[in-house]
A and B are shown apart, each in its own frame.
Chain A
Amino acid sequence: SQQGEEDPQALSIQEGENATMNCSYKTSINNLQWYRQNSGRGLVHLILIRSNEREKHSGRLRVTLDTSKKSSSLLITASRAADTASYFCATEIQGAQKLVFGQGTRLTINP
């Protein structure tokens, strides 16, 4: 079963706007990771945030983690057409050496 749930399932915005995607999970985690996938191809690792971290930045990406609420958010600032893709959160559960993925958010950036 899926541990993570992304919200929204689909998001369509204009180029230049910010995009925010949310992820909720159920059990204690070691870390949470965000991935991007273009048109059913391989997953590209975007950012990893450990359970003892609250916020992390990488270029135009900002990730937050709230372990008390078991939730995370991914913010993409100043979106570009090339950001159009599906975005997945994945949790590494404590005691398990595997990633559990949500069903993803499909992001469309309109020019």
Chain B
Amino acid sequence: DAGVTQSPTHLIKTRGQQVTLRCSPKSGHDTVSWYQQALGQGPQFIFQYYEEEERQRGNFPDRFSGHQFPNYSSELNVNALLLGDSALYLCASSLGIRDYSNEQFFGPGTRLTVL
């Protein structure tokens, strides 16, 4: 049973560019959440997708957008990249609101560097 997978592993972009990160959830999971983790910090919640809709959003600007596909996989898009967007981007999957425990399984992350 494959766990949560993310691609790419590493990415280098320049300021002003746009980036798309991808996530495939754990088999059987229908909810995907995205987190940003700056160096030396804890992960910060960006948003969550369930049934192809954004259900929750953290304090991130509209430059951060996402999408969930019918197979539950998800993309995170960041436009007009800033140096401060350099971070590890983590995807987590879960069973969403039907599962009271809401245990989230994390992928290995995508390391984004903005130059």
Contacts and interface: CB of A to CB of B under 8 A. Distances in A.
A99 B45 contact: yes
Interface residues of B, number: 33
Contacts of B42: 2, 4, 88, 90, 101-104
A50 B109 CA distance: 27
Interface of A: 2, 4, 30-31, 33, 35, 40-45, 48, 50, 88, 90, 92, 96-104
- Closest 4 interchain pairs by CB? A101-B42, A42-B108, A43-B106, A98-B45
Given A41-B108, A96-B56, 12 more contacts: A40-B109, A41-B109, A43-B43, A44-B106, A45-B106, A48-B101, A90-B42, A97-B97, A101-B43, A103-B41, A103-B42, A104-B41
